[in-house]
């Protein structure tokens, strides 16, 4: 049986018995700011005090419970009638009167001799105890109706409002080749769910919930294998339905959003849908011409280097660029060649270059100042 009736709930909150709901809420907020365990380093005094003012607030802000409490405590400033689930005040009063009446009749019975007196005394004591117990039971029924039955009934009849879960955002890094061809990623999603022990209230009996440590939520890790579609762009947002935080009271789960970041490549550069790259070739490849292997986003392809190719010359590989998923258009890969001399050469190679020097009669710098 709850012991609220033994306390002066109005005095605990520092308000008068005729205080309206606004004053009661204001007083509770003021007291809570002072006695909250977090503010007082979870001292035992603050925990007990916070629990006490919270209990007082819960009773006095419930019109039905407050009405019953006022009658039990004799606060006549509130005139509302009340009924519990089992016993009304008039029934309790009737039981009390009947108890007193029986008690009086038993007490005034004639006592003719010592033996009868002893028997009557025993019968009187037994009768008194039974009647006292009977009244006690009636009184407990009133209190149980005040603090227990109504709470259970309200919990059953009160419809909780649906609460949708929050969305979760994650950044995912992929390579450009993966963006072109598509790929899969295993992502570790950290879900937040309402603490099952304190049901999100953060405190249990005035103390921090030991499971969630006063946060009201617990974290759950979940691994998901997600598909990154081909042709995805940098900054794209991919939605995975119902993989966000959990909804409550029939509310929908949140969604998981993946924000795509395409890593920069030392080899590939991008110009719209076109892919740019630079390829080194040797002097003899530039002079004689050849076929070389060129890396693309979809693998290597063969590209022809014609004879007498110069540094900076550009070649186009058709439809080897990025794709536009909306229009279906595909870009090209633009290859720029750069003639590069090896850093280390053999003595025979050097001799050949000396022979080439002696054989060459070209004056490639004689017209530098001419228009």
For residue 83, what pLDDT is reported? 37
How many other CB atoms are found less than 10 A from the CB of residue 36?
A: 16
Share of the chain above pLDDT 70, in %: 76
Mean pLDDT, the chain, rounded, equals: 77
Token pair for residue 272? Answer: 């719209």
What the chain holds in terms of domains, given with CATH numbers, is 4-157 (1.10.287.110), 168-262 (2.60.260.20), 269-359 (2.60.260.20)
Q: Write out the E strands in 282-361.
A: 290-296, 299-305, 314-317, 333-339
Strands 203-204 and 207-208, how do they pair?
Answer: antiparallel
- At 102-150, the pLDDT tens digits run 334 434 444 444 454 454 454 544 544 544 444 444 444 444 444 444 4
Looking from the CA of 277 toward its CB, the CA atoms found within 13 Å total 20
Q: CA distances (Å), 302 to each of 256, 292, 293, 315, in order?
A: 42, 6, 5, 12
Q: How many CB atoms lie within 10 A of CB 277?
A: 17
In angstroms, the CA 360 to CA 358 distance is 6
DSSP secondary structure letter of residue 4: G
Task: Please give the model's pTM, rounded to 2 decimal places.
Answer: 0.46
CB 103 within 8 A of CB 35: no
What's residue 93's pLDDT? 45
Q: Is 217's pLDDT higher than 50?
A: yes
pLDDT in tens, 158-212: 567 888 888 999 999 998 888 888 899 999 988 888 888 888 788 887 788 888 8
């Amino acid at each position: 049986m709850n012991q609220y009736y033994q306390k002066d709930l109005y005095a605990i909150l520092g308000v008068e018995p005729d205080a309206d709901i606004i004053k009661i809420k204001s007083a509770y907020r003021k007291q809570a700011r002072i006695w909250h365990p977090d503010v007082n380093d979870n001292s035992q005094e603050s925990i007990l005090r916070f629990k006490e003012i919270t209990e007082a607030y819960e009773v006095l802000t419930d019109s039905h419970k407050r009405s019953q409490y006022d009658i039990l405590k004799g606060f006549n400033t509130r005139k509302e009638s009340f009924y519990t689930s089992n016993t009304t005040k008039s029934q309790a009063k009737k039981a009390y009167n009947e108890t007193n009446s029986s008690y009086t009749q038993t007490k005034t019975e004639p006592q003719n001799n010592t033996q009868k007196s002893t028997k009557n005394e025993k019968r009187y004591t037994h009768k008194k105890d039974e009647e006292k117990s009977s009244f006690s039971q009636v009184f407990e029924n009133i209190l149980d109706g005040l603090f227990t039955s109504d709470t259970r009934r309200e919990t059953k009849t009160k419809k909780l409002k649906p609460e949708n879960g929050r969305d979760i955002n994650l950044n995912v890094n992929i390579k450009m080749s993966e963006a072109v061809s598509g790929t899969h990623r295993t992502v570790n999603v950290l879900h937040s769910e309402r603490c099952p022990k304190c049901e999100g209230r953060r405190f249990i009996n005035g103390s921090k919930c030991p499971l969630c440590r006063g946060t009201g939520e617990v974290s759950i890790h979940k691994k998901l294998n997600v598909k990154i579609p081909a042709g995805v762009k940098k900054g794209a947002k991919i939605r995975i339905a119902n993989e966000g935080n959990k909804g409550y009271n029939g509310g929908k789960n949140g969604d998981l959003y993946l924000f795509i970041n395409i890593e920069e490549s030392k080899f590939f550069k991008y110009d719209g849908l076109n892919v740019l790259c630079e390829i080194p070739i040797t002097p003899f490849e530039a002079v004689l011409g050849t076929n070389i292997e060129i890396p693309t986003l979809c693998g290597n392809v063969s590209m022809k280097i014609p004879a007498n190719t110069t540094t900076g010359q550009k070649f186009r590989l058709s439809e080897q660029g990025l794709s536009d998923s909306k229009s279906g258009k595909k870009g090209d890969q633009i290859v720029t060649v750069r003639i590069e001399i090896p850093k280390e050469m053999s003595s025979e190679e050097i001799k050949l270059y000396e022979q080439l020097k002696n054989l060459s009669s070209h004056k490639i710098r004689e017209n530098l100042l001419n228009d």
